[in-house]
Structure 1
Amino acid sequence: MSKIKWQTAIEFEDITYKKCNGVARIAFNRPNVRNAFRPKTTSELYKAFYDANEDTSIGVVLLSAEGPSIKDGVWSFCSGGDQKARGHQGYVGEDGYHRLNILEVQRLIRFMPKAVIAVVPGWAVGGGHSLHVVCDLTLASKEHAIFKQTDADVTSFDGGYGSAYLAKMVGQKKAREIFFLGRNYSAQDAYEMGMVNAVIPHEDLEDTAYQW
């Protein structure tokens, strides 16, 4: 049982946002849809990261996920854009404009002057995979973390920072393999190719991330 005394910073619908002793924890909270993001999710992510960036008491941000799914017990970090929320002309925000804004979230993560650690308890897929890539560090669940790109499957491609940073991490050829073939990679696979910093027993994942 974790002894970290998280305090809710701001109430959101699609994410949770908490703080404790200089650490902020932002977590996807749509486990029954594999923590896929929709325009509301990315808007809330941006607001939470912006708040953490502006809070001078915060030095580190953990990007994690709630779970598991109550439907099937599967753990997910993030499965990318919610395809059920995507219309024929793309995603539409609550303001009626066509937008998803995940690039703005990636940009804020990359350039905020605070360390961002991806805490991956399960599936990191598509846009969710790219999000962990743009973080400064990644810790992955030994038992449940799986990494996968699905761009070819959904006729989309990461035009943000994920593809470029992945190539820097694992090399151009390996990055193309990951994007083109859409294979599943375990936490150990990801660690060995330099995409993950540490593979942690699932029950210790959150506490270890906080200690880092």
Structure 2
Amino acid sequence: MNYPEFTTLRVDVAAGVARLTIDHGPINLMDGAMLADLDRASRLLEDDQAVKVVILQSANPDFFIAHGDVSAIQQLPSKPAPREQKLGDLHAILDRFRTMPKATIAKIEGRCRGGGSELALACDMRFAAIGRAFLCQPEVGVGIIPGAGGSARLPRMVGRGRALEIILGCADFNAETAERYGWVNRAVPAAEIGYFVNALAARIAGFPAAALALAKQMVDATDGTIEADLALEERLFLQSAQTSGARTRIAAAMGAGMQTRGMEMCCFTHVWAPMAGLE
């Protein structure tokens, strides 16, 4: 798929990995122009069969995204307009990074506040550069609440007490603390984060697209009773086992000695690497 030119970001695709690089002015302000680009780019990425992993990153070493455009807040209505769809436009744009059948990764280097944090929270995974990444939900400081997912997602990730500390305190959190709280997956040394994220993305991109999509669907569904979740897991597991990717890779794994002592004693980080590209 050919991606058009955007005004606030660019998209590059290679070997199943799309890199969405934000590049918008001195602080990467999340304004109307950026949201329009994120909407258009995420729709294209969602439909691109060649893409299995999407990395969100910034061209600005100091800012992932500063925050949402505060000057636009006073123009907002007092309540949502009537609509047929469940989510409003802002939530729908960001939530697409959670629901698209691709693995989405936020590589955070620099300030990541307000809407920037909320975009990262919508991604499947978040990795933050030690000494460079700072995360914050500053909205209460200007008399509002996080309105692009922060109020809803943070308690689910970090727990009620820590979510309130983050939201009510309006303070910057460094990468190490964000990792300890569960805000990000991992804090990574700044010199290593590029290699780490690229290696993880390449590894995931080597696996069957159908399995990646079904795994995301199952993980996102685990909010009912354990019985309901197990029943759904059974259905999705059986569905995944019938895909061509599963049949090909199971045959390759067995042919390589899976279920023998020699194979099972190996580190599986290295076992799966030679199978990259099998479908």
Q: TM-score with structure 2 length normalisation?
A: 0.63
Instruction: Work out whether residues 64 and 112 of structure 2, in 8 Å CA contact, stay in contact via their aligned partners in 1.
Output: yes
Distance, in Å, in 1 between the alignment partners of 2:145 and 2:73 is 17
Match among 56, 60, 63 for residue 76 of structure 1: 63
Instruction: Work out whether residues 42 and 101 of structure 1, in 8 Å CA contact, stay in contact via their aligned partners in 2.
Output: no
Higher strand content, 1 or 2: 1
Residue in structure 2 matched with residue 103 of structure 1 by the alignment: 91
Instruction: Work out whether residues 43 and 101 of structure 1, in 8 Å CA contact, stay in contact via their aligned partners in 2.
Output: no
Structure whose alpha-carbon radius of gyration is higher: 2
Q: 1:9 to 1:169 in 2, by over 3 A?
A: same
Residue in structure 1 matched with residue 249 of structure 2 by the alignment: none
1:149, distance to aligned residue in structure 2 (A): 0.8
Q: 1:188 to 1:87 in 2, by over 3 A?
A: closer
Task: Say whether residues 1:161 and 2:153 are aligned partners.
Answer: no
Residue in structure 1 matched with residue 8 of structure 2 by the alignment: 14
Secondary structure of the residue aligned to 2:60 is: coil
Gaps of 5+ in 1: 1-7, 69-74, 92-99
Match among 185, 192, 199 for residue 211 of structure 1: 199
Match among 101, 110, 121 for residue 109 of structure 2: 121
Distance, in Å, in 1 between the alignment partners of 2:7 and 2:148 is 25
Task: Say whether residues 1:39 and 2:32 are aligned partners.
Answer: yes
1:158, distance to aligned residue in structure 2 (A): 2.5
Residue in structure 2 matched with residue 60 of structure 1 by the alignment: 53
Distance, in Å, in 1 between the alignment partners of 2:56 and 2:37 is 13
Residue in structure 2 matched with residue 51 of structure 1 by the alignment: 44
1:31, distance to aligned residue in structure 2 (A): 4.8
1:205, distance to aligned residue in structure 2 (A): 2.1
Task: Say whether residues 1:184 and 2:172 are aligned partners.
Answer: yes
Distance, in Å, in 1 between the alignment partners of 2:38 and 2:172 is 26
Residue in structure 1 matched with residue 270 of structure 2 by the alignment: none
1:208, distance to aligned residue in structure 2 (A): 1.9
Instruction: Work out whether residues 148 and 185 of structure 1, in 8 Å CA contact, stay in contact via their aligned partners in 2.
Output: yes
Distance, in Å, in 2 between the alignment partners of 1:207 and 1:20 is 16
Distance, in Å, in 2 between the alignment partners of 1:53 and 1:80 is 24
Secondary structure of the residue aligned to 1:152 is: helix
Distance, in Å, in 2 between the alignment partners of 1:175 and 1:88 is 26
Distance, in Å, in 2 between the alignment partners of 1:150 and 1:78 is 13
Aligned length: 190
Q: Which digits, 9 at most, give the CA deviation of each residue in 1:103-141, with x for residues without a partner? A: 122221121111110110111101111111121110111
Higher helix content, 1 or 2: 2
Q: 1:185 to 1:11 in 2, by over 3 A?
A: same
Code of the aligned partner of 1:76:
F
Residue in structure 2 matched with residue 130 of structure 1 by the alignment: 118
Gaps of 5+ in 2: 78-87, 201-279
Q: Which moved more, 1:37-46 or 1:197-206?
A: 197-206
Code of the aligned partner of 1:15:
L
1:162, distance to aligned residue in structure 2 (A): 2.6
Distance, in Å, in 2 between the alignment partners of 1:156 and 1:20 is 40
User: Aligned Cα RMSD in Å?
Assistant: 2.1
Match among 163, 166, 190 for residue 175 of structure 1: 163
